[in-house]
Structure 1
Amino acid sequence: MENPEARTRSGGVVATLALAGTVAAVMQTLVTPLIAELPQLLDTSPSNAAWVVTVTLLVAAVCVPVSGRLGDLVGKRRMLLVCAVPLVLGSVVCALSSTVLPMIVGRGLQGMGMGMVPLGIALLRDVVPAQKLSGSIALVSASMGIGGAIGLPIAAAVAQYADWRALFWGSAVLALLIGVLIHVMVPDVPAGAKGQRFDLAGAVGLAIGLVSLLLAASKGADWGWGSGLTLGLFALSAVALLTWGWWELRTRDPLIDLRTTARPRVLLTNLSSVLVGVGMYSFMLIAPQLLQFPEATGYGLGQSMLAAGLYLAPGGVMMMLISPLGGKLINSRGPRFALIAGALVLSAGYGLAQALMGSAVGLMIVGIVISSGVALAYGAMPALIMSAVPLSETAAANGFNALMRSLGTTIGAAVIGVVLAQLTVSVGGRELASESGFRVGLLIGCAVALLSALVACAIPGPRAAGNAAQDEETAEAAAEVRA
């Protein structure tokens, strides 16, 4: 019989890690209600103000896989506490900012703390009983989506009815609370890769490649896709990532073990993660614009930022409700089935959007369906990854998977941004995305989600009996920790 004390302790760990992921996601959406006002608030140009959003993405892309590997080397709990520090400092710096440069620095610091979710998921493997592991992973994995969905209306309400600095003071308090909860609730477990070296050269190479790629993808529409700067960054990214891959295959203790990553179960899961990321972000980019565009367009719904956020918030609540059910589905049918189901539900949501995009309530229903699909898919991905990697690489592998999701959202933003920029109408002297542009964007989201389901169908089953010894060793190590 399960020890009630152990059950309570593991429940507190799961709740703490899910809250940590939710807070990290809220950090990302904090500035969304302020985007249009940032140039005036910070006395700068719109192009400079855009860096307040971009810098968090770039820093997180680099720090998530690095913090994951450090979690394997020095301990996941220790790195969770380390991630809480820049979240607090970054929030304080942003709250005190009056110009764009310190705001960018603060947002960059917030990006450094985004490794909390993959670290938390990896730690669950060490401390949660096997029968509760799938549901716990699903909840913590979905916390990024939950935070993003509920963070928008909260941020909009604060920005509308209080001083904008209150957003960042509030986030500083939340981050500090998370640090305290991690210190109190999360047990310290032995580092899985203790004694190995940190691959500094690999971290630098990956940083150069990722920053170049994401910068070109996120800024290409503004700079021009054929401009020398955009093409140069894409070229630099290709060279850096190829060189990084060459190094990782030859160094003794790589940042990311590419041989493990190349296993079909891991490789196809990561590819499906990119596609789900594209599918998820397509709706997040389209729905707020449809809700807020003026009714004079004939398809805009004329809602305020706060009202738009409130219409989309039920999607976040649904993710919270679906995650435990996703865990049960993983236990009964396996994580591959759950990933396929999630991608199909995501695709169905986009199909439904073609009929319901004409009303705010309709978009709310679409958001609930899409969020349900994302919750199922996001819960299945870490389970697939962790079933195919050794215990010593759990955090690094989850960090890389989180990076793949982030890459998907960046690609989705770039693709949908190009579509909406090309298909426009003129309303009152302003160029706005047209109804056909939104419909094409929704069709792209539907197609990408279907493609993700097809990729997931190709994921092989659990590892063969030849790896049984490794599975047994992993189970024994987890059992020792729980004891």
Structure 2
Amino acid sequence: MLRSSARQRMPAWAVITVLCLAGTVVALLQTMVVPLLPDFQQLLGVSAEDVSWLVTATLLTSAVATPIVGRLADMFGKRLMMVVCILLMVAGSVVAALGGSFAAVVAGRALQGFSSALIPVGISIMRDELPREKVGSAIAVMSATLGIGGALGLPLGGWLFEKAGWEVIFWLSAATGVLLLAGVLAVVAESEVKAGGRFDYLGAFLLSVALTALLLAISKGGSWGWGSEPVLLLFVLTLVVLAVWFPYSLKVSQPLVDLRTSGRRPVLLTNAASVLVGFALFANMLLSAQQLQLPAGTGYGFGLSPIAAGVAMIPSGLAMVLFSPVSGAMINRFGGKATLLAGSAVMAAGYVARVFFSDSMAAVILGATVVSVGSAVAYAAMPSLIMANVPITETASANGLNALLRAIGTSTSSAVVAVVLSSVTAAHAGVQLPSLEAFQDVFWIAALASLAACALVWFIPRPEPVPAEAVPARLPAVTPAGESAETVVHGCVLTGEENPLPHAVTTVLKTTGEPVDWSRADAEGRFSLALPGPGEYLVVATADGWVPRSRIVEFPGEGHEERIHLRHRLSLTGWVLRDGESLPGALVALTAASGEFVASTRTDRSGHYELQLPPPGRYVLTAVEAETFHTYSRKVITTAEPAVVNLDLVGTALPRD
């Protein structure tokens, strides 16, 4: 059904401000407790191993919640899921502040992890609610808030602890969450782009188990031992569960993560690059803070306190915000691919420079700032690339998956940095400390990760330009993006016999040739498409093994469900003849050039045969006369187009041995 509603939109600046505040809050929550971990050991009476759960609990919850919340946001409403996440974040902050015990603080930190889903959901809201020309710059600003929030979190947490105690950190988080909730309710409208459908509970459970096992192994590998039995068992559990989850997600009607869409080349390469960019970003934060805090007597440390080191990192966070307009302009002018490529290249150059220039505090801060600028540009480009290559009704879940992969990159970075810094050490005042070579080794690793991201991005295909006037315009009755709510049309793709066509792809274009949206049907042939409004559109449907179909469709304002029929299979057809006479009942067999059997059939009374068109490739087509058993074979090459191949046994048939 197509639902259309005109809504009063809030000013774009107000929506951007509230959503960017959400990104800042997320970054603050992730970093404010980090400088206090040593103090929590005495305050809560736990060991250094136990206190690390204050970070691990948030990491695990955010990893599990992000893809699940993203999918629920696409199904039931993005603002609704933002509200739910903020309420859970506030509840966690209150529990941690009032609990007074280690278990309560860990539980509160776990609930705070739901806030991580605010960023991908907020980015998808920007796509739905803002004018098209402002989306790129808005995403860039929101991505940059991760930097300023992370940079401010370290000194702010330490300062609040010294002035008012550790509980005030969680009370501040709760108060900020309440203000954020009020802002979302007042400014952010609920998007009309809702896919509906059924939630994949089993897929969510399997993915949650796999992610928990993987991130727990990565985060605890250093303290438990990478070769220890618990860590190895966690890695094995991850592989086993993923081996079940992948085929299940390909088979289920409406999976939590659409692997077919995620496997498309632009999405797959962007997500792979996101892991590497996340790795390089977090290495910058970890290395810079640690180097600034090492004793000055080492010759490469500067003896700063944790708070002072956090203050020294503020310029790198501010640089991300200052360069966000540049990132947005680059996305609008050159596209997401060029922007991500440029950002990754700047990160690589910054790390190479840090290998050779780290002999002064100014050099460390400048090097960290250069890497942060590249991170800001790269982080702004990734959501744009993802949303440009997935259906509109899947933007939140697709961004959630991308955010999850970035988190895996940051977690891996933390583990690698810990291993290298603890392995390559030098003695100072009787204490083993990370050596300068350890920092340089990680700089090189991060530079290689950035260059590997560049290599992946290079192979992302460029989008084809849209012609100004592709066909004579019969314009749909729509208004410019951001001025009215998008509407969602539902339908199904069927065969001529009314059977559903699973995983059929439906694409909608304006009658001027401008792309609108596309969707992959579920296992029952159902699809959802987001349209700018009612009107006439060009609809193209296709499925593996079927002749595609296209037509102009009038989508009315409401009460309409589109049924698309693909009536003709792609086939390999022809006649089996002898001396121009048809041979009824002849056997026709198709085998692959490598020897595998593909299909067989018999000719009808007119000597005609029909086989389902196999995948493009080289094959051997063989005919066997029914009465004499004379045979004839010929090589054929199939493409994605129907093929007609006649087999004439005249002069070529050989008697049966």
Do Structure 1 and Structure 2 share a fold, with TM-score over 0.5? yes
| Residue 229 of structure 1, CA deviation | 0.7
- Worse-matched range after superposition: 58-67 or 444-453: 444-453
Q: Which residue of 2 aligns with 1:447?
A: 448
Q: Which residue of 1 aligns with 2:100?
A: 98
What CA distance in whole angstroms lies between the structure 2 residues aligned with 1:298 and 1:161? 33
Amino acid at match of 1:445: A
Q: Which residue of 2 aligns with 1:405?
A: 406
1:388 pairs with 2:428 = no
- Could you give the per-residue CA deviations for residues 96-128 of structure 1, whole angstroms, max 9, x where no partner exists? 233211111000000022100000001111111
Q: Which residue of 2 aligns with 1:238?
A: 239
Correspondence 1:308-347 to 2 at 5 A? 308-347=309-348
Q: Which residue of 1 aligns with 2:113?
A: 111
Correspondence 1:248-287 to 2 at 5 A? 248-287=249-288
Closer, same or farther: CA 463–93 of 1 in aligned 2, 3 Å: farther
The alignment-based identity, stated in percent, is 41
| Residue 296 of structure 1, CA deviation | 2.0
| Residue 350 of structure 1, CA deviation | 0.9
- Contact in 2 for aligned 1:33/1:159 (Cα 8 Å): no
Q: Which residue of 2 aligns with 1:359?
A: 360
Correspondence 1:62-73 to 2 at 5 A? 62-73=64-75
Unaligned runs of 5+ in 1: none
Q: Which residue of 1 aligns with 2:178?
A: 176
- Contact in 1 for aligned 2:58/2:110 (Cα 8 Å): yes
What CA distance in whole angstroms lies between the structure 1 residues aligned with 2:257 and 2:188? 25
- Could you give the per-residue CA deviations for residues 125-144 of structure 1, whole angstroms, max 9, x where no partner exists? 11111111111111123322
- Contact in 2 for aligned 1:221/1:414 (Cα 8 Å): yes
- Contact in 1 for aligned 2:94/2:108 (Cα 8 Å): yes
Q: Which residue of 1 aligns with 2:49?
A: 47
* Secondary structure at 2:126 match in 1: helix
The structure whose residues are more often strand, as a share, is 2
What CA distance in whole angstroms lies between the structure 2 residues aligned with 1:61 and 1:177? 25
| Residue 358 of structure 1, CA deviation | 2.2
| Residue 448 of structure 1, CA deviation | 0.8
Amino acid at match of 2:137: G
1:428 pairs with 2:458 = no
Equivalent of 2:509, from 438, 463, 469? Answer: 469
What CA distance in whole angstroms lies between the structure 1 residues aligned with 2:243 and 2:215? 16
- Contact in 2 for aligned 1:127/1:478 (Cα 8 Å): no
What CA distance in whole angstroms lies between the structure 1 residues aligned with 2:259 and 2:383? 17
Amino acid at match of 1:28: Q
- Contact in 2 for aligned 1:126/1:478 (Cα 8 Å): no
Closer, same or farther: CA 161–93 of 1 in aligned 2, 3 Å: same
- Contact in 2 for aligned 1:72/1:394 (Cα 8 Å): yes
What CA distance in whole angstroms lies between the structure 1 residues aligned with 2:338 and 2:225? 41
What CA distance in whole angstroms lies between the structure 2 residues aligned with 1:231 and 1:115? 29
Q: Which residue of 2 aligns with 1:200?
A: 201
Amino acid at match of 1:242: A
The structure whose residues are more often helix, as a share, is 1
Closer, same or farther: CA 464–393 of 1 in aligned 2, 3 Å: farther
1:128 pairs with 2:168 = no
What CA distance in whole angstroms lies between the structure 2 residues aligned with 1:9 and 1:84? 22
* Secondary structure at 2:323 match in 1: helix
- Contact in 1 for aligned 2:10/2:188 (Cα 8 Å): no
Amino acid at match of 2:368: G
- Worse-matched range after superposition: 420-429 or 46-55: 420-429
What CA distance in whole angstroms lies between the structure 2 residues aligned with 1:398 and 1:366? 29
What CA distance in whole angstroms lies between the structure 2 residues aligned with 1:234 and 1:464? 44
- Contact in 2 for aligned 1:357/1:363 (Cα 8 Å): yes
* Secondary structure at 1:374 match in 2: helix
- Could you give the per-residue CA deviations for residues 147-201 of structure 1, whole angstroms, max 9, x where no partner exists? 112222222222233312111111111111111100000011124212x001110
* Secondary structure at 2:433 match in 1: strand
Q: Which residue of 1 aligns with 2:415?
A: 414
Report 1 or 2 for greater relative contact order, CA contacts < 8 Å, sequence distance ≥ 6. 1
Closer, same or farther: CA 233–427 of 1 in aligned 2, 3 Å: same
TM-score by length of 1: 0.95
- Could you give the per-residue CA deviations for residues 43-97 of structure 1, whole angstroms, max 9, x where no partner exists? 1111111111111001100000100000001100000111101111111122223
What CA distance in whole angstroms lies between the structure 2 residues aligned with 1:40 and 1:445? 35
* Secondary structure at 2:13 match in 1: helix
What CA distance in whole angstroms lies between the structure 1 residues aligned with 2:161 and 2:461? 48
What CA distance in whole angstroms lies between the structure 1 residues aligned with 2:366 and 2:507? 44
Choose 1 or 2 for highest CA Rg.
2
- Contact in 2 for aligned 1:44/1:99 (Cα 8 Å): no
* Secondary structure at 1:432 match in 2: strand
| Residue 463 of structure 1, CA deviation | 6.3
Closer, same or farther: CA 218–456 of 1 in aligned 2, 3 Å: same
Q: Which residue of 2 aligns with 1:85?
A: 87
Correspondence 1:119-158 to 2 at 5 A? 119-158=121-160
Q: Which residue of 2 aligns with 1:163?
A: 165
Closer, same or farther: CA 338–463 of 1 in aligned 2, 3 Å: same
* Secondary structure at 1:35 match in 2: helix
What CA distance in whole angstroms lies between the structure 1 residues aligned with 2:531 and 2:352? 43
Q: Which residue of 1 aligns with 2:23?
A: 21
- Could you give the per-residue CA deviations for residues 15-56 of structure 1, whole angstroms, max 9, x where no partner exists? 110110110110000111101111101111111111111110
What CA distance in whole angstroms lies between the structure 2 residues aligned with 1:47 and 1:293? 22
Amino acid at match of 1:420: L
| Residue 353 of structure 1, CA deviation | 1.4
* Secondary structure at 2:432 match in 1: strand
Q: Which residue of 2 aligns with 1:369?
A: 370
| Residue 11 of structure 1, CA deviation | 1.6
* Secondary structure at 1:426 match in 2: strand
What CA distance in whole angstroms lies between the structure 2 residues aligned with 1:393 and 1:451? 28
Amino acid at match of 1:146: I
- Contact in 2 for aligned 1:315/1:364 (Cα 8 Å): yes
| Residue 298 of structure 1, CA deviation | 2.1
Q: Which residue of 1 aligns with 2:14?
A: 12
What CA distance in whole angstroms lies between the structure 1 residues aligned with 2:167 and 2:532? 46
Amino acid at match of 1:451: A
- Contact in 2 for aligned 1:74/1:191 (Cα 8 Å): no
- Contact in 1 for aligned 2:147/2:321 (Cα 8 Å): no
Unaligned runs of 5+ in 2: 1-6, 467-505, 519-528, 535-657
| Residue 239 of structure 1, CA deviation | 0.7
